[in-house]
């Protein structure tokens, strides 16, 4: 894995007072390999034009690559058709679109929407606001003592009032992975549609939407080595066809007259306006990169580093690890007695160690844990056990400075 | 451990963060303010008891990083016995002291050690909102 680090130019160029960057904030965003940077600049420098209707080169080349990107995403998530892949600006955008186009038109007073206590604000606030606007009820699936989803309480919440279940694949704060297959299966037994927030999933395990049987799924490009501002929404074809367009504008119509408009077929119907073409091309390059390394390889490396970090950080007195037994993810949260997470992060930053401190956009979870925040480390292919050792040693120094 | 950051957290700040001045709820307050930073979640309730124009008593309660807690503690301590106009001068001085764009050197602004400890915050613009959280909020009643 260490040989792969050289593919990421930031580690060659970025220095904090001579110290290399130790990037442990991968749940927030990932660094970019040269191939992704090349793909984006290559498009702008080599064949830039709008997609869709241009009859000239380079418009045809841009359109071809844009279309190829969709095909690569399709294969990456195991969807049966390219029509089921809608480009968005990211996971948040995808959630909002499903809320507006799928949920709101059918949501009525007294209906229910299910989310979990571990959701990121992005997969919480849009559903909450939709419910409030219609007098519907947002119900929150609690976590058990081990900070896993309480499946027996979840089962009891499944009624015919529930219009959709929105659930994360992996908690961005705790690194807990949900058993989506059984969760979705249970929900479907009650005819409840399921939206999966897969923001943290693509580098953990191979996604197969058909096997998972989710109705919707979304992730962001920037968390999988791709550019910011690009993401995808997967939806089952029948649902996407039934839904009104996620937005209206150019590029999503067949015919327009003064009186009416005939919408285009999938996926164009849901993609109004000039898309983020460079973003899709960068995302396609990122998927090629992931495939060349292997999702399983990436997932295993991250999970092994988490396990190693659990072992090393457990040696520090006064340090509390959350969900320390969580399996097969690369995210780990902790607190240190008497030292605020932001103070810890500031001191780590001085050593060139980038971590995230705070609530991680999961206020409901912080309330459940009754804490103001955590320090979160999250690993990727360019991280190593040596970096975990440095993290540990620096934490010990911080503790002795503060106490 | 880095000396630059250590300087920021030096004795004054750590001392105030560990043993804050007048921490707790003031029952007979005349003004209660909530200083809240939604980005990081730091939150302090500030209690002030005005008698006429003079701040007779103060306290605070809440949570935040060492810098935000210490700066709130120093504020609560420094406000005691001050008139509104004196408090205003004090707040402006402190904000100038920590402002990275300020042209005046910290030492030319004050010789108060509690204040000077925060001058290092100038080097850490990302921590400015920690150092000025309670002070900016207080401006609303002055």
- The CATH number of whichever domain residue B46 belongs to comes to 3.90.1010.10
**Closest chain B C-alpha to A7 CA, distance in angstroms:** 30
* Strand ranges across the sheet with B31-36: B31-36, B43-51, B54-63
Higher pLDDT, A38 or B139: A38
Q: Percentages helix, strand, coil for chain A, rounded to the nearest 5?
A: 45, 20, 40
pLDDT mean over B1-6: 63
Q: What is the pLDDT of residues B108-132, one digit of tens each?
A: 888 888 888 888 888 888 888 999 9
A402/B66 touch (CB, cutoff 8 Å), yes or no: yes
Report the pLDDT value the prediction gives residue A389, as an integer from 0 to 100.
98
In CATH terms, A2-31+294-402 corresponds, of 3.90.1150.10, 1.10.1740.10, 3.40.50.970, 3.40.190.10, to 3.90.1150.10
Beta bridge partners of A334: A321, A375
Report the pLDDT value the prediction gives residue B141, as an integer from 0 to 100.
83
Report the pLDDT value the prediction gives residue A19, as an integer from 0 to 100.
85
CATH of domain A37-292: 3.40.640.10
| Residues on chain A touching B13 (C-beta within 8 angstroms) | none
B4 confidence band (pLDDT: 50, 70, 90): low
Pick from B1, B63, B66: CB nearest A372? B63
| Residues on chain B touching A341 (C-beta within 8 angstroms) | 65
Report the pLDDT value the prediction gives residue A347, as an integer from 0 to 100.
92
Q: Is the pLDDT of residue A171 over 70?
A: yes
pLDDT mean over A316-334: 96
A151 confidence band (pLDDT: 50, 70, 90): very high
In whole angstroms, what is the distance from residue B12 CA to residue A165 CA? 51
- Which of these, A233, A116, A220, A200, lies nearest to A165 by C-alpha position? A116
Q: Determine contact: A397 vs chain B, CB below 8 A.
A: yes
Provide the residue ranges of all domains of chain A, joining segments of one domain with +.
2-31+294-402, 37-292
Tally A–B CB contacts below 8 A.
Answer: 49
**Among residues of chain A, what percentage have pLDDT more than 90?**
89
| Residues on chain A touching B127 (C-beta within 8 angstroms) | 346
In whole angstroms, what is the distance from residue A131 CA to residue A127 CA? 6
Q: What is the pLDDT of residues A263-298, one digit of tens each?
A: 889 999 999 999 999 999 999 999 999 999 999 999
In whole angstroms, what is the distance from residue A381 CA to residue A292 CA? 13
A350/B4 touch (CB, cutoff 8 Å), yes or no: yes
Please give the mean pLDDT across all residues of chain A: 95
**Among residues of chain A, what percentage have pLDDT more than 70?**
100
| Residues on chain A touching B6 (C-beta within 8 angstroms) | 401
Report the pLDDT value the prediction gives residue A139, as an integer from 0 to 100.
98
A342/B1 touch (CB, cutoff 8 Å), yes or no: no
User: A29 with A222: CB under 8 angstroms?
Assistant: yes
Pick from B4, B39, B65: CB nearest A340? B65
A372/B6 touch (CB, cutoff 8 Å), yes or no: no
A53 confidence band (pLDDT: 50, 70, 90): confident
B65/A342 touch (CB, cutoff 8 Å), yes or no: yes
A336 confidence band (pLDDT: 50, 70, 90): very high
Q: Is the pLDDT of residue B10 over 90?
A: no
In whole angstroms, what is the distance from residue A218 CA to residue A192 CA? 18
Report the pLDDT value the prediction gives residue A134, as an integer from 0 to 100.
97
Per-residue tokens: B67: 């810098």
Q: Is the pLDDT of residue A375 over 70?
A: yes
Q: Determine contact: B124 vs chain A, CB below 8 A.
A: yes
Same fold yes or no, A2-31+294-402 and A37-292: no
Q: Determine contact: A375 vs chain B, CB below 8 A.
A: no
B8 confidence band (pLDDT: 50, 70, 90): low
At A9, give phi and psi (nearest 5°).
Answer: -60, -25
A346/B64 touch (CB, cutoff 8 Å), yes or no: no
A366/B4 touch (CB, cutoff 8 Å), yes or no: no
Pick from A339, A359, A397: CB nearest B41? A359
At A254, give phi and psi (nearest 5°).
Answer: -100, -50
Please give the model's pTM, rounded to 2 decimal places.
0.93
Q: Is the pLDDT of residue B1 over 60?
A: no
| Residues on chain B touching A19 (C-beta within 8 angstroms) | none
Q: What is the pLDDT of residues B15-59, one digit of tens each?
A: 899 899 999 999 999 999 999 998 888 999 999 999 999 999 999
Report the pLDDT value the prediction gives residue B5, as an integer from 0 to 100.
67
Report the pLDDT value the prediction gives residue A219, as an integer from 0 to 100.
98
Please give the mean pLDDT across all residues of chain B: 90
Q: Is the pLDDT of residue A202 over 60?
A: yes
Q: Determine contact: B2 vs chain A, CB below 8 A.
A: yes
In whole angstroms, what is the distance from residue A35 CA to residue A363 CA? 37
Q: Give residue A15's region: left, alpha or beta (phi > 0; psi -120 to 50).
A: beta
Report the pLDDT value the prediction gives residue A82, as an integer from 0 to 100.
97
Report the pLDDT value the prediction gives residue A322, as an integer from 0 to 100.
97
How many domains would you assign to chain B?
1
Whether A361 is catalytic: yes
Report the pLDDT value the prediction gives residue B40, as an integer from 0 to 100.
84
Report the pLDDT value the prediction gives residue A249, as an integer from 0 to 100.
87
Pick from A372, A398, A401: CB nearest B41? A372
Neighbours of B32 (CB within 10 A): 11
Burial class (CB within 10 angstroms; exposed 0-12, middle 13-18, buried 19+) of A267: buried
H helices present in A89-124, as ranges: 91-98
Q: Is the pLDDT of residue A252 over 90?
A: no
Q: Is the pLDDT of residue B2 over 70?
A: no
DSSP element (H, E) containing A38: helix A34-46
| Residues on chain B touching A345 (C-beta within 8 angstroms) | none
A-proximal residues of B, 48-77, CB under 8 Å: 63-67, 69
Per-residue tokens: A303: 């999970």
Q: DSSP letters of A276-288?
A: -HHHHHHHHHHHH
Per-residue tokens: A5: 């680090």
| Residues on chain B touching A366 (C-beta within 8 angstroms) | 41
Which residues constitute the domain of residue B31?
3-141
Substitution target from B10, B39, B65, B71 for chain A, most A beta carbons within 10 A: B65
Q: Is the pLDDT of residue A141 over 90?
A: yes
């Amino acid at each position: 894995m260490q040989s792969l680090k050289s593919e990421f130019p930031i580690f060659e160029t970025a220095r904090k007072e001579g110290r290399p960057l130790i990037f442990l904030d991968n749940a927030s965003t990932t660094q970019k390999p040269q191939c992704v940077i090349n793909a984006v600049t290559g498009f702008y420098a080599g064949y830039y034009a709008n997609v869709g209707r241009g009859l000239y080169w380079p418009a045809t080349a841009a359109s071809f690559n844009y279309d190829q990107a969709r095909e690569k995403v399709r294969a990456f998530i195991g969807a049966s058709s390219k029509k089921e892949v809608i480009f968005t600006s990211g996971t948040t955008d995808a959630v909002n679109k499903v809320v507006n186009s799928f949920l709101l038109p059918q949501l009525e007073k007294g209906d229910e929407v299910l989310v979990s206590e571990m959701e990121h604000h992005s997969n919480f606030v849009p559903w909450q606001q939709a419910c409030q606007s219609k007098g519907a009820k947002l119900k929150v699936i609690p976590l058990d003592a081990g900070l896993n989803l309480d499946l027996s309480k979840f089962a009891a919440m499944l009624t015919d009032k529930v219009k959709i279940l929105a659930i994360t694949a992996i908690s961005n704060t705790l690194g807990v992975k949900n058993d989506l297959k059984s969760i979705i299966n249970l929900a479907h037994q009650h005819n409840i549609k399921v939206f999966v927030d897969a923001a943290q999933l693509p580098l953990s395990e191979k996604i197969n939407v058909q096997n998972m049987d989710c109705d919707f799924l979304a992730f962001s490009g920037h968390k999988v080595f791709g550019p910011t501002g690009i993401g995808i929404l997967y939806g089952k074809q029948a649902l996407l066809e039934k839904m009104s367009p996620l937005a209206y504008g150019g590029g999503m119509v067949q015919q327009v007259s003064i009186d009416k408009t005939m919408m285009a077929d999938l996926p164009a119907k849901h993609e109004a306006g000039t898309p983020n073409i460079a973003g899709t091309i960068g995302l396609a390059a990122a998927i090629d990169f992931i495939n060349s390394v292997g999702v399983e390889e990436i997932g295993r490396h991250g999970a092994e580093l988490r396990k190693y970090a659990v072992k090393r950080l457990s040696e520090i007195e006064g340090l509390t690890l959350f969900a320390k037994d969580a399996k097969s993810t690369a995210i780990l949260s902790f607190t240190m007695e008497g030292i605020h997470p932001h103070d810890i992060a500031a001191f780590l930053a001085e050593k060139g160690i980038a971590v995230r401190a705070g609530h991680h956009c999961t206020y409901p979870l912080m309330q459940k844990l009754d804490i103001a925040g955590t320090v979160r480390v999250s690993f990727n292919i360019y991280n190593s056990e040596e970096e975990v050792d440095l993290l540990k040693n620096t934490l010990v120094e911080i503790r002795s400075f503060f106490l | 451990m880095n000396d630059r950051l250590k300087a920021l957290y030096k004795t004054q700040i750590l001392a105030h963060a560990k043993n804050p001045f007048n921490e707790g709820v003031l029952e007979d307050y005349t003004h209660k303010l909530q200083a809240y930073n939604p980005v990081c979640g730091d939150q302090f309730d500030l209690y002030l008891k005005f008698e006429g124009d003079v701040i007779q008593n103060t306290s605070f309660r809440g949570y935040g990083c060492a810098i935000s807690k210490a700066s709130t503690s120093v504020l609560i301590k420094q406000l005691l016995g001050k008139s509104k106009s004196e408090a205003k001068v004090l707040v402006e001085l402190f904000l100038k002291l920590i402002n990275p764009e300020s042209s005046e050197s910290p030492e030319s602004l004050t010789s108060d050690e509690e204040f000077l400890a925060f001058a290092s915050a100038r080097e850490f613009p990302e921590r400015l909102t920690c150092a000025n959280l309670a002070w900016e909020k207080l401006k609303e009643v002055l």
